[in-house]
Amino acid sequence: MTTSTRLPMRVWKCAFAGLLLLASSSSGAGEPLDIASRRELFVDRFLIERLDGVRLKLHEPRDEGVVLRYDQPWEGPYCAYNTVIHDGDRHRLYYRGKVASARDGIGEVTCYAESKDGIHWDKPKLGLFEAAGSRENNIVLATAGVTHNFCPFLDARPGVPPAERFKALGGVKETSQPGSGLHAYASADGVHWKLLQPEAVITNGAFDSQNVPFWSAAEQRYICFLRIFAPGPVTAPGKKPPSLRTVARTTSADFIHWTEPEPMHFEPAQEVDLYTTQTHPYFRAPHLLIATAARFMPGRQALTAAEAKQIRAGAAYFKDVSDAVLLTSRDGSTYQQTFREALIRPDLRPNSWVSRTGYPALNVVQTGPQEMSLFVNQDYTQPTAHLRRYALRLDGFASVNAPYEGGAFTTKPLRFAGRRLLLNFATSAAGSLRVEIQNAEGQPLPGFAAADCREILGNRIEWPVAWKSGDDVGKLAGQAVRLRFVMKDADVYALQFAP
């Protein structure tokens, strides 16, 4: 493995903390959270100090149906590891084409599709590689091993050369080949790819999964989240714990020299296998890492052999099940498992209850003025294999939810920059919201008590909170304040202080 000067991970953590305010994540320390004018989502308890009669609620994405079928001779039922990239006026989709079950790296290609809206997809005939006796196909890479899990991204690093506007990692671990692992690629247009160096750039890891790289604006480094195996939870005294699929991260300043991978931490502790994590900066709040992970349950069987035969699932692929879960990270080193329930469950079709199906694609992207989408690989090993779209409101992974009887929640002390408090919220026709701004000790500030707040009613992605004096809170910017939300039959998804 090519390595850079390896600073201890705690050094990187401290640098990141300065940007993401890890030191201030505990209000008990007395230092207010400085959220400036960032958009903050209620996907964890980062902002929340107290919940009174309300709860954090995970929201179920809407199933919008099939958007792409793996129906070409070079694609097939073993297609997997999708990546969706929003690039200017188009969305780009990359995925593994694989017709038959075989050893990792054998009989695989990387396929490509495009969309103007993220909903309707086309497979261009690129003419780059031959498959099924023709070059009339959508293959962008056909390099053995690399195409098993090729994972590209749009490089947002300032000053990146145009020829390297896109970068990618791909590769497998070959026990007979010392030094094998993930190889680095670059592209100017996302279609024509070049190898950056012959040697693998990351060699320490178990790479039989989608290993996710991106440029982190918060850390000012490239990050890769990759698969490792570690001992799982102890199930019985004196019994060796089973091996658990888990995650490590490594960083790089130049995409070639990478630090030694270090395991991610989980709060609460990880209990089951995570096959892919699909960790990426959320596009509307890039300081927040969102992971739409594939939770894998080996040996947990839902279908009978007869049912598996009827849907023509691979013979070895109906004795496990999986679903999608939501994890988040604010420091890049710890996953918050705020919600242990599934983000997306297998559906009513028996096709979705087979091994390694239901795996989300990398990246959540905007597909409408008020909508974002995630894409999920479905019907693995079956003739019906396809990619499916699921939709949520913008910022709508989770919310603070109040019942009809009402409730409230209060934030930790915080400082902000801006003149207006904008909310992403929804109420019922009978529901309502009011916001009170308090001092750090919890006393309402004059003119900003809940009784002064104009009732908030409706369903809005971005709505300014107003009090009797108006919506200008600029005179409070920089002060330590708390926000108290008084709610009835309502959800608050996100907030942001804006100019």
- Residue 187 corresponds to which amino acid? S
Which tokens sit at 18? 């300065």
pLDDT by 10s per residue, the chain, length 499: 444 434 344 334 434 434 443 333 333 446 999 999 999 999 999 999 999 999 999 999 999 999 999 999 999 999 999 999 999 999 999 999 999 887 777 889 999 999 999 999 999 999 999 999 999 999 999 999 999 999 999 999 999 999 999 999 999 988 778 889 999 999 999 999 999 999 999 999 999 999 999 999 999 999 999 999 998 877 667 777 789 999 999 999 999 999 999 999 999 999 999 999 999 999 999 999 999 999 999 999 999 999 999 999 998 899 999 999 999 999 999 999 999 999 999 999 999 999 999 999 999 999 999 999 999 999 999 999 999 999 999 999 999 999 999 999 999 999 999 999 999 999 999 999 999 999 999 999 999 999 999 999 999 999 999 999 999 999 999 999 999 999 999 999 999 999 9
Secondary structure (3-state) at 194: strand
Owning domain of residue 290 = 62-393
Asked whether the bond before 241 is cis by omega within 30 degrees of 0, the reply is no
Do 269 and 132 have their domain in common? yes
Do 351 and 451 have their domain in common? no
Q: What pLDDT, on a 0 to 100 scale, did the predictor assign at position 446?
A: 97
Do 47 and 72 have their domain in common? no
> Could you tell me if residue 204 is inside a domain?
yes
CB 250 within 8 A of CB 223: yes
DSSP state of 277: -
Distance CA 251, CA 262 (A): 10
Distance CA 353, CA 308 (A): 9
- Which residue's entry shows tokens 């699921």? 390
> Could you tell me if residue 141 is inside a domain?
yes
Query: Beta-strand (E) ranges in 176-253?
Result: 183-187, 193-195, 212-216, 221-231, 243-252
Do 126 and 258 have their domain in common? yes
Do 112 and 220 have their domain in common? yes
> Could you tell me if residue 376 is inside a domain?
yes
Do 49 and 100 have their domain in common? no
Distance CA 182, CA 456 (A): 51
Q: What pLDDT, on a 0 to 100 scale, did the predictor assign at position 30?
A: 67
Question: What b/e sequence results for 273-294 when a residue is b if at least 16 CB atoms lie within 10 Å of its CB, and e otherwise?
Answer: bbbbbbbbbbebbbbbbbbbbb
Residue 490 phi/psi, 5° resolution? -150, 160
CATH code at position 308: 2.115.10.20
Q: Are strands 40-41 and 481-498 parallel, antiparallel or unpaired?
A: antiparallel
Question: What b/e sequence results for 440-456 when a residue is b if at least 16 CB atoms lie within 10 Å of its CB, and e otherwise?
Answer: beeebbeebbbebbeeb
> Could you tell me if residue 262 is inside a domain?
yes
Domain count, the chain: 2
pTM of the complete model: 0.92
Do 184 and 293 have their domain in common? yes
Do 208 and 349 have their domain in common? yes
Do 278 and 420 have their domain in common? no
End residue of a domain, out of 363, 393, 423: 393
Q: What pLDDT, on a 0 to 100 scale, did the predictor assign at position 385?
A: 98
Question: What b/e sequence results for 18-36 when a residue is b if at least 16 CB atoms lie within 10 Å of its CB, and e otherwise?
Answer: eebbbebbebeeebbbebb
- The kind and range of the H/E element at 401 are strand 398-402
Do 417 and 327 have their domain in common? no
